[in-house]
Amino acid sequence: MLLGGDNFVMKGGDMVSGRSGAMLSYVVNVSLRRLELVLGDITEQAVDVIVNAANRRLAGGGGVDGAIHRCGGAAIMKETREKYPDGCKTGSAVASNAGNLKAKYVFHAVGPNWYYEPDRFDLLGLAYGSCLKLAVNLGCRSVVFPSISTGSYGYPIAESSVVAIKTVGDFLKSVDGVNSSLEFVRFCLFSESDFAVYRESVDNYCKDN
């Protein structure tokens, strides 16, 4: 995604950033695919997959979870109740229809609670990885993530963003040369401060890889 306006390219790093109207975007090429950051409303994203930061009961809730169910409508909850009556375990993800959202699927990913999960680092990486594997299995081209577990589950965003970016970046590199439909993975951040944290994590990941 190359935006107009005050964009610039860092020639040595395949990075593009800029501001177009009210939207802030940052893009990095990871092998043959793209890792993107945007500032905005995840329910407005027109992609194949919108990831929901769900709870284990898939019962809906506040934050991103509540917003996705409100905007997507009752069809999403109807399907999850019918297909996944036992919910979804922490570190896993399941797929449903996207209802009224501008997507083909909603993936309901259950991240760890910072306060109660001793293996929270591994579980957070598994939650992101489960969505990426599911996207490839379903032939999806585009996935947009929220910042999983950083709301009511209390995971500090600085630590969370490192796990998120490393998991996604490593996955994109792992499918380099593989006949996969996946074209880009995007993080949709709620605030400019969150965007800045994720951008720093992207830059650090690029430096180290």
Domain assignment present for 121: yes
Number of domains the chain contains = 1
- Contact at 8 Å (CB) between 51 and 96? no
Domain assignment present for 152: yes
Q: Is the pLDDT of residue 165 over 70?
A: yes
Note the pLDDT of residue 24.
Answer: 87
Note the pLDDT of residue 23.
Answer: 66
User: Which CATH number characterizes residue 173's domain?
Assistant: 3.40.220.10
Mean pLDDT for the chain? 89
Domain assignment present for 4: no
Domain assignment present for 170: yes
Enter the pTM of the model. 0.89
Find, among 1, 6, 33, the residue nearest to 20 by Cα: 6
Per-residue pLDDT reduced to its tens digit, 64-110? 999 999 999 999 999 999 999 999 999 999 999 999 999 999 999 99
Find, among 188, 158, 200, the residue nearest to 53 by Cα: 188
186: its two tokens: 């995007």
Q: Give percent of the chain with pLDDT exceeding 90.
A: 83
Q: Is the pLDDT of residue 126 over 70?
A: yes
Domain assignment present for 91: yes
Residues tagged active-site: 65
Q: Is the pLDDT of residue 130 over 80?
A: yes
Note the pLDDT of residue 22.
Answer: 45
Residues 140 and 183: their CA atoms lie apart, in Å, by 8
Across 123-132, average pLDDT: 98
185: its two tokens: 């993975």
Beta-strand pair 49-54/142-145: parallel
Domain assignment present for 163: yes
- Contact at 8 Å (CB) between 201 and 162? yes
Note the pLDDT of residue 16.
Answer: 42
Domain that includes residue 70, residue range: 40-191
CB atoms within 10 A of CB 203: 16
Domain assignment present for 164: yes
Beta-strand pair 93-97/184-189: unpaired
Domain assignment present for 207: no
